[in-house]
């Protein structure tokens, strides 16, 4: 399953979600590949890759015809592989944008390796420019993180519509797997109201699991560790572990039997393998 993390807004937790879910999937025994498609390289750096060791990267895959096996590297997390990003991706938006058909390039580049992985996650820059479009054309489904603040839902429907149109245009339509509420802070009444609003408008499309504000999630990238290695007992680690399971349920990977009665916000539970 190839899942893209997309949002037009910056700083809503796309990278944190991509990195944490990748580690959570790997911890559940799923062979996982994380692909960093943002020229800021946040996902790569968050997993401890040195700024000077980013090559070979997704830019080499997309712009220089290197093959996927040549750019995939292992990480410190067992079961999690990575394709880093590089600043060269800044020019990719221009180069890929000018050449017709290149939005399909990631999709075809992943063809030789997609069966090696149970889970491939794509971390995108904050826009719906050429790079996220390239990711969406390659993806089976997509997840939209939002911070439930004033105006948060502005543009959300817009994004969903834009992805639909993209599907029509390129013939590959990823399905929306869900909207995930991130950096939720119930100390503010405003946020509580926004959470209610998002849930009322988007209903079942919103994941039951919410990711609360958790300082450990903000600290982990500087340590170059996933939240599970940095602080496995943190609320952030618990939330992303549960979110990974809810995603697998939604995607039909886990059996619903015996799981559906439990509240998803409950404490940690044993991973269930398919």
Ligand X SMILES: Nc1ncnc2c1ncn2[C@@H]1O[C@H](COP(=O)(O)OP(=O)(O)OP(=O)(O)O)[C@@H](O)[C@H]1O
- Give min distance, CB of 14 to Mg ion, in A: 5
Tell me which H or E stretch contains 142. strand 141-146
From the list ligand X, Mg ion, none, partner contacted by residue 159 (C-beta under 5 to 8 A by kind): none
Which region, judged by CB under 6 A, interacts with ligand X, from 14-22, 85-93, 134-142, 226-234?
A: 14-22
Q: Which is nearer to ligand X, 79 or 236 (CB)?
A: 236
Scan residues 107-146 and list those touching ligand X (CB under 6 A).
126
Q: Which is nearer to ligand X, 10 or 29 (CB)?
A: 10
Candidates 7, 12, 14, 46; binder of Mg ion (CB under 5 A) is 14
Contact 3, 142 (CB under 8 A): yes
DSSP string, 29-92: T--EEEEE--TT-HHHHHTT--GGG--S-HHHHHHS---HHHH-EE-SSTTEEEE---TTHHHH
Tell me which H or E stretch contains 4. strand 2-5
Token pair of 131, please? 């790079």
From the list ligand X, Mg ion, none, partner contacted by residue 148 (C-beta under 5 to 8 A by kind): none
- Give min distance, CB of 58 to ligand X, in A: 15
- Give min distance, CB of 256 to Mg ion, in A: 32
- Contact between 14 and ligand X per CB under 6 A: yes
Going across the sheet that includes 80-83, the strands are 73-74, 80-83, 32-36, 119-123, 2-5, 141-146, 175-181
Q: Convert residues 206-225 into a mask of x (bound to ligand X by CB under 6 A) and - (unbound).
A: -----x-xx--xx--x----
Contact 63, 95 (CB under 8 A): yes
- Contact between 42 and Mg ion per CB under 5 A: yes
# residues contacting Mg ion (CB under 5 A):
3
- Contact between 41 and ligand X per CB under 6 A: no
Q: Which is nearer to Mg ion, 14 or 238 (CB)?
A: 14
Q: How many other CB atoms sit within 10 Å of the CB of residue 231?
A: 18
CA dihedral 230, 263, 123, 146 (to 10 degrees): -110
Which region, judged by CB under 6 A, interacts with ligand X, from 9-17, 67-75, 158-166, 257-265?
A: 9-17
Exposed / middle / buried, residue 215 (Cβ in 10 Å: 0-12, 13-18, 19+) = exposed
- Contact between 85 and ligand X per CB under 6 A: no
From the list ligand X, Mg ion, none, partner contacted by residue 86 (C-beta under 5 to 8 A by kind): none
Residues in the chain: 274
- Contact between 241 and ligand X per CB under 6 A: no
State the Rg of the chain over Cα.
Answer: 18
Contact residues toward ligand X (CB under 6 A) are: 10-16, 38, 42, 126, 182-183, 211, 213-214, 217-218, 221, 236
Contact residues toward Mg ion (CB under 5 A) are: 14-15, 42
């Amino acid at each position: 399953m190839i899942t893209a993390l997309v949002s037009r807004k910056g700083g809503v937790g796309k990278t944190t979600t991509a990195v944490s879910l990748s580690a959570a999937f790997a911890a559940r025994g799923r062979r996982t590949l994380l692909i960093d498609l943002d020229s800021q390289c946040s996902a790569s750096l968050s997993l401890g890759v040195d700024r000077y060791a980013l090559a070979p990267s997704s830019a080499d895959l997309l712009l220089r015809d290197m093959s996927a096996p040549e750019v995939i590297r292992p990480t410190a997390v067992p079961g999690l592989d990575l394709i880093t990003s590089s600043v060269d991706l800044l020019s990719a938006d221009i180069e890929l944008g000018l050449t017709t058909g290149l939005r399909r390039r990631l999709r075809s580049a992943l063809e030789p390796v997609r069966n090696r992985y149970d889970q491939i996650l794509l971390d995108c820059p904050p826009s719906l420019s050429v790079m996220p479009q390239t990711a969406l054309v390659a993806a089976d489904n997509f997840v939209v993180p939002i911070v439930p603040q004033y105006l948060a839902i502005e543009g959300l429907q817009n994004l969903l519509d834009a992805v639909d149109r993209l599907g029509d245009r390129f013939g590959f339509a990823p399905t929306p797997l869900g909207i995930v509420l991130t950096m939720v802070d119930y100390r503010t009444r405003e946020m509580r109201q926004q959470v209610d609003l998002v849930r009322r408008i988007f209903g079942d499309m919103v994941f039951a699991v919410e990711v609360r504000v958790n300082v450990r999630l903000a600290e982990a990238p500087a340590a170059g560790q996933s939240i599970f290695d940095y602080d496995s007992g943190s609320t952030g680690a618990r939330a992303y572990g549960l979110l990974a399971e809810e995603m697998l349920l939604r995607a039909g990977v886990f059996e619903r039997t015996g799981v559906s009665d439990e509240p998803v916000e409950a404490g940690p539970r044993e991973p269930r393998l398919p």
